[in-house]
A and B are shown apart, each in its own frame.
Chain A
Amino acid sequence: MYCKKVFLFASAISLFFISCSNDDSSTTEAPIGAYENGVLILNQGNFGTDNSSVSFLSNNFSVFENNSFGIVNPTEVLGDTGQDIGFYNDLAFIVLNNSQKIEVVNRKTLAHVTSIETGLSNPRYIAFSQGKGYITNWGDGGNPNDDYVAVINLQNYTVLRTIPVNEGPERIIVNNNKLYVAHQGGYNFGNTVTVIDANSNTVSESINVGDVPNSLKIQNDILYVLCGGKPSWSGTETAGILVKHDLTSNTSTSLDFATSSHPSNLYLSEGMVYYTDNSDVYSMSATAAALPSTPLFSTFDQGVYGVYSFAVENGRIFVGDAVDYSSNGKVYIYSTNGILEYEFTVGVIPAGFYFN
């Protein structure tokens, strides 16, 4: 229901209230050429408007560019509601939710290769296994029974087959030829992780987790699933929960949050678990038996009202701030001690960091 409200409202906004746009296509800038050794920042843009964009920041923070896709491909429109980027060999796959497509580009140059425009219905996230792409799809948001994972042939960029799954498949990750799909729930609240066998392309297992699993990672054969819990307005508020599922013994342990706490943005880095709750960033050892009681630091001083996107990579913490969801967004980069080191103005609603 959580996402249902957000999306119904987002569509209401796009229909009746006016959101915003990016009309920069007319400015001609030279592309910086090499987009490796850095991070691609996907800016979601506004639902109902073709203002998704990609920003690039080099690993040494010396090179930064906005609208990189548009600059490299001036005749292409990236699209509406950029959701995820996945890398496979020399390619980057940019999933555009409301444009119902995937833009395939060269990951080093961002030059457009092709567009996958058929067989997708509200595509969300992408992963790769056994030479194929796997994309979670909501189908029609209002229909709980048409959700699926699309399997893509990476030679001819067509949808090979679809694997029906429960409502609201969201983030998808791969481990040992198996795909793990978190059912955040779409317009409702999910509480499972579906396991798909990439050899047979069938659902092999469903793992029960907490309510609203919003992020998941695997390390040392442990599946970490961070569940936000149901929000208070749902009428049946539930607490967030961090589930650790041992993939070899197939057993779970969990750490419970306080009822009013709804964490998100799980990230693993160098033996540590990171996550966020409202404006606060938390960290703990991956093997810790209890949740930390105090945050590592708060982004509140930067005016971040709720961390929109998050990553921990190369010893630094990346925070994306959607500001007022109309203006260009901000990216703040902190040391792992929480000291602010860099800040950049990116496109509208920075939604994810993809290290290239």
Chain B
Amino acid sequence: MGTEVSANEAKTAKKEYVVRTKDLVKEFVMGGQVLQALKGIQLDIYRGEYISIMGPSGSGKSTLFNMVGGLDKPTSGTVFINDVDMAQLDAQELAYLRCRTIGYIFQSFNLIPVMTALENVTLPMIFAGVPNDEAIDRGIELLKIVGLGDRLHHKPTELSGGQQQRVACARALANNPAIILADEPTGNLDLKTGKEIIDLLKRLNKEQGVTIISATHDLKMLDISDRIVWIRDGQVERIEDRADVQLEVGVMEHEND
């Protein structure tokens, strides 16, 4: 483990780990060449934390996000979710984990286009075996939480980008997950709606106690993050607390370009 991580570990010794990665390596074969997207990532994330994974395009944040979310398998190394080694899980257990432990929010929303907002939100509950009526009640409740109580029966195409992303947030929360993974949730949104989503995520983080892991290069996200993980060339460059970051915003903007 890196020194920064050890330091953080000391600070939050009483907190539980919700996600831990160990020597995470992911290689892609592109045009006959092996490309290392992740080069041994060590990352510990605590329960109830709002963590932002920052880094320029191609730095490997989306890959890391996919590994942590169990959407792809690492070449080597391990991911622990609630201290369970993901590599040891079979397909059914992995599906169970994706269904109940992790909620996903994507840059391109990824709502099922043929389903209404409510149906999109209830789908993970149906997969989890929740009875239909119960799922609908909870779905309505969740959509109210994200401020779409009056748009229950609208299809994604009938909603604005911000509204779609809010449906996605509600969907991510459907099965009371321990973790919400948000891959550039504001990437496809304008400033104002992006801000709304960020506020919503923060609110969910505070009120529902969900751990939020967000891959982003939206600097507004930094403001509300508990910690920021900087990734560069597939490695953790540094991990900073929010207090440190605010001082360095200007510098980072420069770095990001």
Do chains A and B interact in one complex?
A: no
Binding site for B on A (CB under 8 A): none
